[in-house]
Structure 1
Amino acid sequence: MASKAGDDPDSLMSLCTIFCLKNLRRTMCYSEGEQNRLQLRPDVFLPGEICDRLVNEYMDLVHTDSDFEPQDGFFQLFSDPRSTRLTRLQLREDLVRDRDLEAIGKQDLMELHLTYCSRLTARGLRTLCSFRHSLLSLSLFGCSSVFFRKSGAPLAAGEDEDEEERLQRHTVDLDFSFQGFNRLRLLNLGGLRAELDVEKLLRPLPALTSLDLSSVHLPRPAFLTQWSERLASLVLYNVELTEELIHMLLQMSRLRHLDISRENQRTSKFKMTRKILSSIVQSLVDLVSLDISGHIMLDNCTVPAFEDAVGRPSIEPCKSSIYPFQELKRPLQFLGLYNTTLCNVTHIPAYKVLSFEPILRLLPQSSAPVSQHWATWALYNLVSVYCEYFTVKPSHQIRFHPKIMSFSV
């Protein structure tokens, strides 16, 4: 009888992919020359879905399977678009080198997500330009090193250098811009270093609809208004808010998703007010999700306690316990209130609410995450799945409304 994994097409595909990756020379590759270099068999043609899965699964195995040995020249297997097709890749950490991007430079990538690839240099940035005619989505989260070149050395130098050593002697690559990335709709530059002029870097992006500038220094935020009629999603997590930045946000009339949350209240000089929240609600009428987690409220935004306690929990804006949200035309799909004074009220006009800071105390110190922001999201997903399939006992002190999910301990 077939196993459960074998009955599921996705699981079967995953098993086959892992087997091929662990047995490359016995399946689709052969060795060539004295250096035992990997080569794709001449009779092998791999469509885009298979190639994407092979590369993404390879990255997972390298980071999660201690018995799996990285293959030198693996990306070279996908250098010829006549026999392999790559469209959507997610690469991460210091495994990825400039030569790996160069190996796939002839592919027509539509999505490329690079995360904390500290070994990439300005040489790799030059390779990114070869994808500009096809890229729809690009993430360079934590990859600031690609915008720098080593001082007094050619671009090819420094790939194997330690990151700290490299960044001690660097200059900004002033030659690069996103000129020509005319199809790019989603861009993530989270963690961009302060030395980089984000305004100059971003200017020529006519199709942009989603932008993530988490932890990016924005001294002159007014330039973002060039996308006021296009931008649907803007993430400014851990960005220091100012009056000028708030004024700019209020002009982004097409925004549907806005994240201005912070990881830590103590690092912020900005104080959220009832007036600012009201302005956001009044100006951004298309909003379906809003995250203001981690902000200190300067004044009281909530109804008196005796009013808050009246009736069953409701998501109707007119009954909201938070005054500014009474002006919403409809409940939000998501509202982030984690680590704010607004998270303990009864009536919150959103289908999903992120507000359960006390759960983080259950995490052992030895495995505490670097960022509570991401831990909160992970816990939210975990609890959502748990509550969908299991009965929550009253002793858990997790309270659920018909359409609201709110957490407290």
Structure 2
Amino acid sequence: MESWPRNMPATLEDLCVQYCVRNLQTFTHQFTTTHHTTTYTLFPGLSLPKTICDKIFHFYMEHVDHAHSTIDGFLNIFTNVRGTQLSRLNLANSYVSDLGLGLVKDQPIVELDLSCCTRLSSLCIPFINKMGKTLRSLRLENATDMFEGIRDHVDSISAAQSEDCIDKVPAEKVEQFDDPILNCPHLRKLCLRDFQLEDNLLIGNIQLHDVFRWCKLLTHLDLTQSTVAMETFPHLQCLHHLVSLSLADVDIQDLDAAIDNLCQLKQLKHLDVSQGQSETPVMYPHPELYLQQLVTGLPLLTSLDISGTNLAGFEKTEIQSFRPSRNHHGDEAPQEADSAGRCSIPGLEGRMLEFLGLFGCAHDACYRKNIPAKRVTGESDEEQVLLSLQVYQDRCGLLIKALNTVFHLFRNFAVSRQCAVLEAILAGMKRHLWDKQVQIVGSASLFYIAKGEQKEYITQRQRRSIISLLLRAMETYPSEQTMLRNGCLTLSVFNIPHDVMYCYEKLVNFLLRMLERAQRDDYSHRIGIFLLNCLACQVDGKEKEIVGSLGAIETMLSIIRRKLLADVCDDVMEVAWSTMWNVTDETAANCERFMDKDGMGLFLSCLEKFKDHAELLRNMMGLMGNIAEVKELRPRLMVTEYVQVFSDLLDSTSDGIEVSYNAAGVLAHLASDPEETWLVSRPARHEVLQRMVGAINRWDIRARRNINYRSFQPILRLLTIFDTPEVQHWAVWALCNLCGFCPEKYCTLLEKECGICLLENIQADPRPYKEIQRLAQRVLKQVHVRSSWEDQEEEEEEEEQVLVGASGEAGQGDGRLGEDVDKHIVKDNDDEDMGFVDSDSDEEIRL
């Protein structure tokens, strides 16, 4: 198995940078402009080193959800070149404006990426030129609109000059748009991807080859998917230092003439003429001749990409003679194939390239033997596919095909280098956030990695990258069911909620909006509500209140209403109640939200229509128990219809004792208030208490419960109600049962929350009847036995340590406290129902 990176925590420097970016007030002043946008300025006298500035900028662009106009305000931090220094400015896919770019024009920028910046216009070109003294790399992808307007400026200057009235033209126009247009004399790398040109003109009188004339030191030129006229090719010859040229997805009409011109670039080491946009390979006439001419004319060529074409030609096979050969003893020997070591790519005979791109080539070129290259992209095996994922990060067409191929490899369990594949998929998805197909196909493979045999090696950084990219993809395509399905199913594989706590509120908010939009209960709807329920489990009251404030109660009630109208009780209905059970646990605000939104009306309707559904009854009664724990809400439960329902459910045997147990808990809390607060005449208080004791006496004290309390405080409060011993009876029975089937957890919890003294008080007081005191004594005995056992374990451990120390032999532990309890346990946190989705169904992952 390949080596994975060590699961190391972030460095202190990185943590400080992250904190500062998330709390910009730590080093900047903040103010609001007249356009209601937020702008930041560096504290006076503060100076930040270059490495820190680059990290601050990178983290902000990668992780902060900045609004469309906020990036300009953030860039304002770097206007002070004495206090800040930036060297790499990647603004790709951002909403930076011309004004925003102008704020950093004096920074010593070495690398600048302005790809897909839709708000930039020709007014930003002077700012790029201002950076030209230090600029070494410039990337302008899909930025044709940036050159709009230059025609008018250039034409006005030309007209003024011809009429000897140059003084009528504003000086700033002459300075800004006079030749050269791109004044970056030290530029080494230029990317003009996806430029839609007309007649080989950028706009107006500015020809593409003029850019080459102004940037003579270029070593790398990328014209991928741009419109390039044949007139451009001769002008490439002025780039004497060019070592890398990409003409990928460029429609070359006259290949003969293009090859003649390309062969003049004698310093060229890398050439890309691949095609990845069409479903089938691009077929050229005389492919073998063309390839031979290219290779012969470029003597230094070591890297060549001809993917998606037929330039690899046919593999030639020699007709073998039937005459037997003879060995050195004169005996006949088996005929050896003369072509055993023959080059399988016609035109590359006698050459050994460092790299050869054969992905999607005609005639299955990548499947051949004796390919004359050390590294090959293609579909024949994992090594070729992995290299394709890494090489075609900037090529959507080929990247999607490579992602499709690796997905099918995962389905056939044929991927061993999962770490490298994971990093390549994450990089591709991050690079192409706005390409739906990349996100869908990438997410499909992430599912197999996240649940695969190497999942334990995934680092925290990688886990967060997976989760963040999936969440962002789902937010970008909220109506794409396949994306939602893949994203939610992959998220369900992780340790929820632990792995998503860093983006907890964001994920909860998205899932709620997704459930609100869903018009039908398809798979993504189902898994979405299960995920939300998991997020409400095993979290503290703060997170539960966040879930409630974002609208979880209202959304769940809406889902339940739709189910009632459809007369359907399924797992979605059950989990909707379970989610409300979870978010109301010891969270009074959410309990009040439930009451205010007519939750009790839905409770009665569901009880009437689906009274035979045990799981539903259990979840609903668990929620009722949470509401009954809130003293301020108990008067709203004191309604004849409600109390009668709770009383009748005492006799329920649905789901074992769970429904009866929860009903008794609700009534115990109602009866814990003074007798005068019992506002209903029927059923009478004493009758209800009598029925409650009868139900408790029927329960099996040794029953194993599918339950997980994290706090005993609501139960312990009932131990002090001596005026109503029936209330104490339910509380003591609950403690005795819990400490009996899970003593290692609940005995410790009882001691921690000072429950021992309360039980001792019950034993010392004459008011509780004998059964209560007997149960209290049993609980105390369980705690004592547990404590004695722990003391014995500690003594044995100390003795073992002494013996080990004497012998000098001991193995180091792994520092873990043991494996977690079964992740799929149904309840958590005071009767919470966690719920989970079976993520082993491969059929649910789609492309």
If the length of structure 2 is used for normalisation, what is the TM-score?
0.37
1:46 counterpart letter in structure 2: L
Q: Counterpart of 1:52?
A: 54
Equivalent-residue separation in structure 1 for 2:256 and 2:377 (angstroms):
26
Shift of 1:269: 6.8
Q: Counterpart of 1:262?
A: 275
Shift of 1:24: 0.5
Alignment of 1:166-315 (within 5 A): 177-178=180-181, 180-195=183-198, 196=202, 197-219=207-229, 220=231, 221-227=233-239, 229-241=240-252, 242-265=255-278, 268=282, 270-271=284-285, 273-297=287-311, 300-303=314-317
Shift of 1:298: 9.0
Q: Is the 8 A contact 1:288 1:333 kept in 2?
A: yes
Shift of 1:371: 2.2
CA 1:205–1:96: 2 relative to 1, 3 Å: same
| Larger relative contact order, structure 1 or 2 (CA cutoff 8 Å, min sep 6) | 1
Greater strand share, structure number: 1
Equivalent-residue separation in structure 2 for 1:384 and 1:66 (angstroms):
38
Deviation sequence 1:110-161 (CA, Å, 0-9, x none):
11122211211011122111111111111111211211129989xxxxxxxx
Q: Is the 8 A contact 2:137 2:189 kept in 1?
A: yes
Q: Is the 8 A contact 1:38 1:74 kept in 2?
A: yes
Aligned length in residues: 345
Equivalent-residue separation in structure 2 for 1:213 and 1:306 (angstroms):
46
Q: Counterpart of 1:123?
A: 123
Q: Is the 8 A contact 1:59 1:92 kept in 2?
A: no
CA 1:344–1:305: 2 relative to 1, 3 Å: farther
Q: Is the 8 A contact 2:276 2:395 kept in 1?
A: no
1:85 correspondence with 2:106 = no
Greater helix share, structure number: 2
Alignment of 1:393-408 (within 5 A): none
1:23 correspondence with 2:33 = no
Alignment of 1:241-390 (within 5 A): 241=252, 242-265=255-278, 268=282, 270-271=284-285, 273-297=287-311, 300-303=314-317, 319-328=342-351, 331-340=352-361, 341=363, 342-356=365-379, 371-375=396-400, 385-386=417-418
Equivalent-residue separation in structure 2 for 1:59 and 1:306 (angstroms):
63
Q: Counterpart of 1:156?
A: none
Segment of structure 1 superposing worse, 249-258 or 265-274: 265-274
Q: Is the 8 A contact 1:111 1:137 kept in 2?
A: yes
Equivalent-residue separation in structure 2 for 1:303 and 1:73 (angstroms):
66
**Partner-residue secondary structure (3-state), 1:92:** coil
Shift of 1:180: 3.5
CA 1:370–1:225: 2 relative to 1, 3 Å: closer
CA 1:108–1:269: 2 relative to 1, 3 Å: same
CA 1:60–1:34: 2 relative to 1, 3 Å: closer
CA 1:105–1:56: 2 relative to 1, 3 Å: same
CA 1:112–1:352: 2 relative to 1, 3 Å: same
Q: Is the 8 A contact 1:176 1:201 kept in 2?
A: no
CA 1:39–1:299: 2 relative to 1, 3 Å: closer
Q: Is the 8 A contact 2:343 2:372 kept in 1?
A: yes
Q: Is the 8 A contact 1:191 1:214 kept in 2?
A: yes
Deviation sequence 1:35-55 (CA, Å, 0-9, x none):
764221113211222112211
Q: Is the 8 A contact 2:125 2:182 kept in 1?
A: no
**Partner-residue secondary structure (3-state), 2:89:** strand
CA 1:142–1:176: 2 relative to 1, 3 Å: farther
Q: Is the 8 A contact 1:272 1:295 kept in 2?
A: no
Q: Is the 8 A contact 1:56 1:91 kept in 2?
A: no
If the length of structure 1 is used for normalisation, what is the TM-score?
0.73
Equivalent-residue separation in structure 2 for 1:75 and 1:357 (angstroms):
47
1:245 counterpart letter in structure 2: A
**Partner-residue secondary structure (3-state), 2:258:** helix
**Partner-residue secondary structure (3-state), 1:234:** strand
CA 1:254–1:188: 2 relative to 1, 3 Å: same
Deviation sequence 1:137-196 (CA, Å, 0-9, x none):
11111211211129989xxxxxxxxxxxxxxxxxxx975645532111111111112132
Q: Is the 8 A contact 1:225 1:251 kept in 2?
A: yes
Deviation sequence 1:213-254 (CA, Å, 0-9, x none):
111222211111112x31100011111222221111111111
Segment of structure 1 superposing worse, 238-247 or 270-279: 270-279
Q: Is the 8 A contact 1:109 1:134 kept in 2?
A: yes
CA 1:55–1:78: 2 relative to 1, 3 Å: same
Equivalent-residue separation in structure 2 for 1:30 and 1:371 (angstroms):
41
Equivalent-residue separation in structure 2 for 1:33 and 1:189 (angstroms):
36
**Partner-residue secondary structure (3-state), 1:326:** coil
Deviation sequence 1:230-284 (CA, Å, 0-9, x none):
1100011111222221111111111111111111355957446111111122121
**Partner-residue secondary structure (3-state), 2:248:** coil
Equivalent-residue separation in structure 2 for 1:40 and 1:271 (angstroms):
62
Equivalent-residue separation in structure 2 for 1:151 and 1:282 (angstroms):
42
Equivalent-residue separation in structure 2 for 1:272 and 1:49 (angstroms):
53
Equivalent-residue separation in structure 1 for 2:80 and 2:319 (angstroms):
66
CA 1:68–1:129: 2 relative to 1, 3 Å: closer
CA 1:21–1:244: 2 relative to 1, 3 Å: same
Q: Is the 8 A contact 2:101 2:124 kept in 1?
A: yes
CA 1:202–1:354: 2 relative to 1, 3 Å: same
Q: Is the 8 A contact 1:235 1:259 kept in 2?
A: yes
Equivalent-residue separation in structure 2 for 1:72 and 1:180 (angstroms):
24
**Partner-residue secondary structure (3-state), 1:126:** helix
Equivalent-residue separation in structure 1 for 2:145 and 2:84 (angstroms):
29
Q: Counterpart of 2:63?
A: 61
Deviation sequence 1:287-327 (CA, Å, 0-9, x none):
221100011349535445999xx89x99xxx6321232222
Quote the sequence identity (%): 28
Rg comparison, structure with higher value: 2
Q: Counterpart of 2:646?
A: none
Deviation sequence 1:31-90 (CA, Å, 0-9, x none):
24787642211132112221122112211124xx59999465100100111000011121
Equivalent-residue separation in structure 1 for 2:281 and 2:180 (angstroms):
31
Q: Is the 8 A contact 1:303 1:323 kept in 2?
A: no
Equivalent-residue separation in structure 2 for 1:188 and 1:39 (angstroms):
32
2:369 counterpart letter in structure 1: T
